[in-house]
Amino acid sequence: MMAAAAVRRGGSEAFFTGSHFQRCQMKMTGMILPSPTTSSMLSINHSNSISSSSSSCSSTYQHKNDASSSFRNIDDALASFNHMLHRKPLPCIIQFAKLLSAIVKMGQYYDVVISLSKQMELVGLSPNIYTLSIFMNCFCQLQRVDLGFSVLAKVIKLGLQPTIVTFTTLINGLCKVGEFAQAVELFDDMVAKGCQPDVYTYNTIINGLCKIGETAAAAGLLKKMEEAGCQPNMVTYSTLIDSLCRDRLVNEALDIFSYMKAKGISPDIFTYTSLIQGLCKFSRWKEASALLNEMTSLNIMPDIVTFNVLVDTFCKEGKVSEALGVLKTMTEMGVEPNVVTYSSLMYGYSLWTDVVEARKLFHVMITKGCKPNIFSYNILINGYCKAKRIDEAMQLFNEMIHQGLTPNNVSYNTLIHGFCQLGKLREAQDLFRNMCTNGNLPDLFTYSILLDGFCKQGYLGKAFRLFRAMQSTYLKPNLVMYTILVHAMCKSGNHKDARKLFSELFVQGLQPHVQLYTTIINGLCKEGLLDEALEAFRNMEADGCPPDEISYNVIIRGLLQHKDESRALLLVGEMRDRGFIADVRPCLSEVCQGKKVM
C-alpha cells in the first residue's frame, strides 16, 4: 500500500457507530471502488467540486460554475430555492446542484443544505452523483463522517459510480475528525482498486500524515505522487515544508523549498512563514531575514501571522527590543497587532521580570480594542508571581473571571506555585480546593507543586498524604514526584522510608535518574550501610543509568568517612579512568589524621 505502512495503528476499528458495518456491507455488494475499466467515468472535471486552501493545506469540494455571486445572503438563496421548487416543470437536477453548491460556499450552512436535499426528494427529484457528493461533503464538514459513508452506500444502491471527488471528500472528512489511519486505509483501498488519486486527494492525505507526525511517510508519498505522473502543487510542497519545520528539520524543508522553486512553483506567504519560523527557532536570523527580503521583493507582503512568528521568537529568546522593532515595522506597514502579538511581548517582558512594562502593554492592548484572552492573563499572572507580587496576581485572576473567562490549569498552577514559593501553603491549599470545586481537574504538575511546597516547609506528613490521595485518582505519580519526596525524606533523616519509596519506583515502571540514585546512595552512606550503598551504585550501571562525577564523589566520601579506604581508593582509580575528577581531599586528610592519632 502506498501510505499505510508508516501509519497503521493496529486494525481498522470503527470510527463511528455503524460505519464499520457500512464499509463491510459495501464490500459485500462488490462495490466499493470503481475498477480500472470505469476510469473514463472518473474524468469528470475535478474543479466542479474542489477548492483548495493553502493556509490550512486541506481541500474541500464545491462546484465551479456556482451561482454564489447572485446571492446576497442565505435568505436570498433560500428564496431562489423555493422559487425553483415550485416551478412547473421542475428545473433539472444540475440547476439545483449549482444552487446547493453556492450555499455550501457560504461556509456555514451545511445543515441547511442537508435539509434542502430532503425537500428535493419529497418533490420527486432524484439525486445524482453531484448532489450526493455535496450532501456527503456537508456531513463531513459537520464532522458526521459516519453519515457521509451512509451517502456513499446510497450512491452504490442507486447504481451511480463514485468519483475521485467522492472518495477525496470522505478522506478529507476522516482527516477533519482525526481519523488519519482510516483515511490512509481508504486512500490505499482506492489506489488498489485502480482509482487514481489527483493532486487534491494527495494533498488531503499528505496533510493528514503530517498532522499525525508521519512527515517521512508524507515525503515518501510525494515521491510516489510524482512517479505516478501527478504533479504536486504549491499546497503539497507548503504542507510538507511546514511539517518538516515543526519537526525541526529545517535543512530538509529548505531543500524542498529549493526543489519546488526549481520546478517553477511559486511559494506563497504560508510557505515563507513556515520557513521563517523554522529558521528563527534555531536562531538562524540572517537566513530568516534573507527569506523575509525575498518574499517582499516578490511582492508577497508579511501578514499578521508572519510578524507574530518574528515577535514571538524574539521574545522567547529574550530579545524584547528586537521584537519591539518588528512591532514598529508592522504598524508602519498597516498591519495591526492582535492579542497574540501583545501576549508574546508581555511574555518577553515577564522573562526579565519586568512586570511593569508587561502591564503597560496589557493596558495598551485593551485601549486599542484588543480583548485579552486566557493566555494574556496567564502570562501577566505568571509575571506577577515571578516578581513575588502575589496579591496583584490574584487581582488579575479575579478580574479574568469577572471578564467572563474561565481559568484553566495553567492559571491555577501558576498561582499555587506563587503561593508555595512565598511559603503561603494555606492559600495554596485553598486555591487547590477552589480549583477542584470549579471543575478543573488537578494535573501532575499541580500535585508536584504542592508536594514541593509541603516538603520545603517541612510538612512531610502532609506531602505524603497528598501523594497517596493522588494515587487514588486517575493520575499516576511520575519521577518528579518521587524525586521530591525521596530528597525531602533523606534531608530530614528519614532514610528508611526514602528507600521504601525508591523501591516503589520500579514497581510503577519508572526508571530513576542519576540524581535520585545519588540521593539514595548518600542516605545509605550516612546510615553506615556501605554494602547496600555500593550495591545501589553498581545497579546504576546495570539499569542503564551510569554514575556521574557527583555519584562517585558521594560514595567515595561515604566510604572514607567510615574508614573504608581500600574500596574508596579502588573507586577513585575507577572514576579517574572514566575522566572524572575526585573531590575527596578533605575526607582523605581526615582519614590520614585519624591514622596518625592511632
C-alpha to C-alpha distance for 208 and 197, rounded to whole angstroms: 15
Q: Which residue has the cell 573504608?
A: 564
Do you know the residue count of the chain?
598
Q: What is the pLDDT of residue 35?
A: 34
Cα angle 475-481-486, degrees, rounded to a multiple of 5: 140
**Domain 233-300 in the same topology as domain 1-35+45-225:** yes
Locate 236 and state its grid cell: 503539497
C-alpha to C-alpha distance for 285 and 408, rounded to whole angstroms: 35
- Half-sphere exposure (Cβ direction) of 422: Cα atoms closer than 13 Å: 17
How would you write the pLDDT of the chain (598 residues) with one tens digit per residue?
555 444 433 332 322 233 333 333 333 233 333 333 333 222 323 333 333 333 333 333 333 334 444 677 888 888 888 888 888 888 888 888 888 888 888 888 888 888 888 888 888 888 888 888 898 989 998 989 889 898 889 888 888 888 888 888 998 899 888 888 888 888 888 888 788 889 999 999 899 889 888 899 999 989 989 988 999 999 999 999 999 999 999 999 999 999 999 999 999 999 999 999 999 989 899 999 999 999 999 999 999 999 999 999 999 988 999 999 999 999 999 999 999 999 999 999 988 889 999 999 999 999 999 999 999 999 999 999 999 999 999 999 999 999 999 999 999 999 999 999 999 999 999 999 999 999 899 999 999 999 999 999 999 999 999 999 999 988 999 999 999 999 999 999 888 899 999 999 999 899 999 999 999 999 999 989 999 999 999 999 888 899 999 999 999 999 999 998 999 999 999 989 999 888 766 555 544 444 443 3
Q: Which of 555, 563, 562, 553 is nearest to 585 (CA)?
A: 553
Q: Which of 252, 274, 205 is nearest to 6 (CA)?
A: 205
Q: Which residue has the cell 444502491?
A: 157
C-alpha to C-alpha distance for 127 and 116, rounded to whole angstroms: 12
Q: Which of 105, 131, 103, 4 is nearest to 53 (CA)?
A: 105
CATH number for the domain running over 233-300: 1.25.40.10
**Residue-range domain boundaries for the chain:** 1-35+45-225, 233-300, 533-597
- Please give the model's pTM, rounded to 2 decimal places: 0.72
Q: What is the pLDDT of residue 32?
A: 33
Q: What is the pLDDT of residue 389?
A: 95
Q: What is the pLDDT of residue 585?
A: 60
C-alpha to C-alpha distance for 198 and 176, rounded to whole angstroms: 19
Locate 420 and state its grid cell: 508555595
Q: What is the DSSP string of 34-90?
A: --GGGGGGG-S-GGGS-EEETTTTEEE---SS--GGG-SSHHHHHHHHHHHHT-SSP
Q: What is the pLDDT of residue 584?
A: 63
User: Among positive and negative, which fits the CA dihedral 518, 522, 523, 529?
Assistant: positive
Which amino acid is located at 206 in the chain?
A: I
C-alpha to C-alpha distance for 162 and 153, rounded to whole angstroms: 10
Q: What is the pLDDT of residue 587?
A: 54
User: Among positive and negative, which fits the CA dihedral 405, 406, 407, 409?
Assistant: negative
Residue 51 pairs in a beta bridge with 60
The topology under which CATH files domain 1-35+45-225 is 1.25.40
Q: Which residues of 330-355 are buried (b: 16+ CB within 10 A; e: fewer)?
A: beeeebebeebbbbbbbbbbbbeebb
Q: How many CB atoms lie within 10 A of CB 528?
A: 12
